Amino acid sequence: MRYHLRIMSKISLPGRRSLLIGTAAIAGAAVAVNFLDQADAREPGPGAASGGPWAVELFTSQGCSSCPPADAFLGRLRERPDIVALSFHVDYWDHIGWKDPFASRETTQRQHIYARALKQRQLYTPEMVVDGIAHAPGIDRGQIDTLLAQARLRSPKRAVPELARAADGSLTARLAPFKLEDGQAADVMLAVYDRRHSTPVRRGENDGRLLDNFNVVRRMEMLGRWDGTAASWTVPADRFAAGQGIAVLVQGPECGPMLGCNKLEAVAAG
């Protein structure tokens, strides 16, 4: 199995130092982990929930021949009620023969910010980021199970948003009071995703294959900064299409550790 790495060249991120980038492929990639010290795990705060869910974010590309196994694995993970599984399609492999129709500069930028937060030397695909604290290729189920176990240990109580759709189709996300460490505010992010796409690929490394992608993020936006007090946000119905999934992530600033997350999906979707 060949993992595709993007070794750093000059890309500027707002509020960040430049990253180095160039391209290369190598025969293997090791799991990289950036866990918080287990002794620093938060004490449960008021309103905290236990048992997850936990976030798994896959950075992938239809132009990468190494990605389909990770895409398929994410498709299995998305069925678990304790997992919020999201697929972010990056655009930096579009030049090698096939332009990924779901790739965007915004999703690529999210991977760059994670690379800084997790102290990575390379960007690569496929890459699964588990709960904002660790990353691995997402090919080996055992590796991801280990990272999920570490996430549970680090964050046994969660700031889980309560999600509800009103009769007019709008979404309301509510957070109960929660003790944030050091008084630092958290980012509350909305991700809107398509449950599944099947794409016949005509060029590039996956030429001739029918690729299945799951929980493909089509839009991500900040709902607001959260100080740990009771809060709610309402998103109008025109932000979603019929059958799309919705996830809300509560995360430390600049792609820090996940404090909580939740998803809302139509029963018949998928």
CB atoms within 10 A of CB 24: 10
Cis check for the bond before 126: say yes or no (omega within 30 of 0): yes
Instruction: Walk along the chain (270 residues) and give the pLDDT tens digit of each residue.
Output: 456 665 433 333 333 222 233 333 333 333 444 333 332 333 344 445 568 899 999 999 999 999 999 999 999 999 999 999 999 999 999 999 999 999 999 999 999 999 999 999 999 999 999 999 999 999 999 999 999 999 999 988 999 999 999 999 999 999 999 999 877 899 999 999 999 999 999 999 999 999 999 999 999 999 999 999 999 999 999 999 989 999 999 999 999 999 999 999 986 434
Query: Model's pTM, two decimal places?
Result: 0.84
Residue 126 DSSP label: S
- Given the DSSP bridges, would you call strands 54-60 and 83-89 parallel, antiparallel or unpaired? parallel
Quickly name the fold that domain 3-34+43-197+208-264 has.
Immunoglobulin-like (2.60.40)
Lookup: tokens for 190: 């909305």
